[in-house]
A and B are shown apart, each in its own frame.
Chain A
Amino acid sequence: MLSRICTLTRTELYKLLRQRLFYITLFLLVAVVVLSVLSERLFPSTKNPINGFNPLINGSINGFRFSSYLILIIGSLLFASETTLGTLKTIFIAPFRRSEFVIAKIITLFILSVLFTFIIELLSIGLAFSVYGFSDIKDPTFVELIHLSSSEILLYTAYSFIHIIVPLITVGLMGLFISVLVDNAGIAVGVSIIIYLILDTFIAGLYENLSSFLFTPYLTYYLEPIKNITDGILEEIWKFELINRAFGFSKQDISLDIARNISVIKSFIVPIGYSAIFTFLSIILVSKRPS
């Protein structure tokens, strides 16, 4: 079974690498990250001196927001394009289980998510460091008390990037699930984007209580504290928030600690839960569908 899935994944990646769409996607992603990081240089704000962490985080957040749409579109096309082209009937005649075919597509989405994350991470850190440099962040009022070293923030940022892979894959899996439901590739992409916008903008934006049960807010969940810090909203609580979010413990009182630990767990459990549901439904639907 493993060798069949490996073969299928290799052919999926081969098909992806042979399409212009993939290279356009990479180019757009790089362009968004570069422009976001360099925006401080291109359109200088009043901040003085500029700490590289601010452009780094802006570039990363914009990059991840944008990459979530790219992954969504690629996920939507992974299955629906096969239906539109009519290639499914040729593939399904090969000696594979249909579930293996879906799993190969999911692995492809995972590889793409990791690739996008590394591109955003390396590009934003490298560019921000070389253009602006990194320095420690201190609260002007409580310099001794509140002092985040640049290595501490970098470590946390790297951790955030790794975590973001989970909700990023979930977005792609939602696209894949919709593409299994909708036979036409164009309609699948359109429907996916509309549903994603509804989840991300309307439901998560309007109903704060509901947002923690959606997977979309977790895309930038770990980056927001650093954004607040680098934007100058430096409170002691954020230091603990950083540590707490990253490692699941806190020096705060127990009730706050529990509440925060729950949100750390939730930030993993919610996207993984959605991913499991989308994967399960996609496999069931593909196994049952006529070709």
Chain B
Amino acid sequence: MKQIAIRTENLSRRFGRFPAVQDLSLEIYAGDIYGFLGLNGAGKTTTIRMLLRLLKPDAGKIFVYGNDLDAAYLEIMNYLGGLVETPTFYPYLSGRENISLFARLRMLKSRDLINSIVNDLLALVGLKERADDKIHIYSQGMRQRLGIASALLPCFIPNLSKSPIVILDEPTNGLDPQGISDIRNLIQKLNQEKKITFLISSHLLSEMELLCNRVGIIRNGKLIISEDLQTLLKQEGVEITAPRRHLEKYFMGLI
């Protein structure tokens, strides 16, 4: 039986009279790449903010590897990484300095270890060449890559008690096709090699289809389905063929 990485029980949150999330009960298994889909305003970001404890739920509980997020917050946040909406950094610091600062906040003491992790992360997200540039001259795509690097920090911390979970809200926002492809490959690689669990929200359904093994669809704050992707498509009678990536291949061939 698969281990449950994240479980929510009747999670609810209102903004004034508007119910952003209602009775959301969700299960994400360890090792999943879980696609969290929904229209604008459906409640994806609110749910993600609650999962990262940036927002307190009005009702309901969140469990990470069976531990109550409220009770075991300090321990859980060690292996939880996240990116919410547009990533933001200190503009007077370089990309490397920003990631180093966030690495220090993960209680890494050794300077050598921090440098090695930061170098690995920057190389993984394709920012090694521009790592020492100040953030204020970064393009939106570069900031997005750096945001993903900061979310992936727990994946590189040695001796964690649990396998890391990374929550990414619209990670491909502002990325060019090359960037989207790079990030997709990176997520798949980390998932396969390091058994990292991912929860990803996105509007790009074709991307989600290429990336995820399970999906949940949220509408008006309610989770209407949470299922294995292949099973879901079979249920709907969709003919499953190899994903069509002709234009992407042609584009990559040209650049």
Q: How far is the CA of A288 from the CA of B56 in the complex (A)?
A: 8
| Distance to closest chain B CB from A70 (angstroms) | 19
Provide the residues of chain A in CB contact with B74, threshold 8 Å: 95-97
Task: Please tell me if the beta carbons of A90 and B104 are within 8 angstroms of each other in the complex.
Answer: no
Which of A4-12, A154-162, A230-238 is the interface stretch?
A4-12
Indicate whether A290 sits within 8 Å of B56 (C-beta atoms), given known contacts A7-B104, A7-B107, A93-B77. Answer: yes
Q: Which of A86, A93, A96 contacts B88 (CB 8 A)?
A: A86
Contacts of A93 in B (CB 8 A): 52-54, 77, 80-82
Q: Does A291 contact B (CB under 8 A)?
A: yes
Q: Which of A89, A91, A95, A288 contacts B84 (CB 8 A)?
A: A89
> Which one of A14-22, A163-171, A244-252 contacts B?
A14-22
Q: Chain A: interface residue count, which band?
A: 20 to 34
Partner among B54, B73, B77, B92 whose Cβ is within 8 Å of the Cβ of A18 = B92
Q: For the complex, is B105 an interface residue (Cβ under 8 Å from A)? A: yes
Pairwise interchain contact B105-A11, C-beta atoms closer than 8 A = yes
Cβ-closest chain B residue relative to A95: B77
Is B90 an interface residue, CB under 8 A from the partner? yes
Report the count of interface residues on B (CB-CB < 8 A). 31
A90 B87 Cβ-Cβ under 8 A? yes
Known: A89-B88, A95-B106. Contact between A15 and B77, CB under 8 A?
Answer: no
Question: Chain B residues with Cβ under 8 A from A18's Cβ?
Answer: 90, 92-93, 97
B102 touches A94 (CB 8 A): yes
Contact among B55, B91, B93, B104 with A10 in the assembled complex (CB-CB below 8 Å): B104
Q: How far is the CB of B84 from chain A (nearest CB, A)?
A: 5
> How many angstroms from the CA of A26 to the CA of B86 in the assembled complex?
34
Is A85 part of the binding interface, using a Cβ–Cβ cutoff of 8 Å? yes
**B78 interface residue, CB < 8 Å from A?**
yes
A20: chain B residues at CB < 8 Å are 92
Q: Does A92 contact B (CB under 8 A)?
A: yes
**Cβ of A96 and Cβ of B86 under 8 Å apart?**
no
A3 and B80 alpha carbons, distance in the complex (Å) = 20
Cβ of A87 < 8 Å from any Cβ of B? yes
Please provide the chain B residues from 65 to 87 with a CB less than 8 Å away from any CB of chain A in the complex. Answer: 73-75, 77-78, 80-82, 84, 86-87
Q: How far is the CA of A10 from the CA of B91 in the complex (A)?
A: 19
Query: Closest CB-CB distance, A89 to chain B, in whole Å?
Result: 5
Is B150 an interface residue, CB under 8 A from the partner? yes
| Shortest Cβ distance from A98 into B: residue | B53
List 12 other contacts, CB 8 Å, given A11-B101, A11-B104: A7-B105, A10-B104, A15-B93, A85-B90, A86-B88, A89-B54, A90-B87, A93-B80, A93-B81, A97-B74, A290-B54, A290-B55
Q: Which residues of A contact B (CB under 8 A)?
A: 3-4, 7-8, 10-11, 14-15, 18-20, 85-87, 89-97, 288, 290-291
The 5 A-B residue pairs with the shortest CB-CB distance, nearest first, are A86-B88, A95-B77, A94-B105, A291-B54, A290-B55
Could you give 8 example pairs across A and B, Cβ below 8 Å?
A: A15-B101, A18-B92, A85-B89, A85-B90, A86-B88, A89-B84, A96-B74, A290-B54
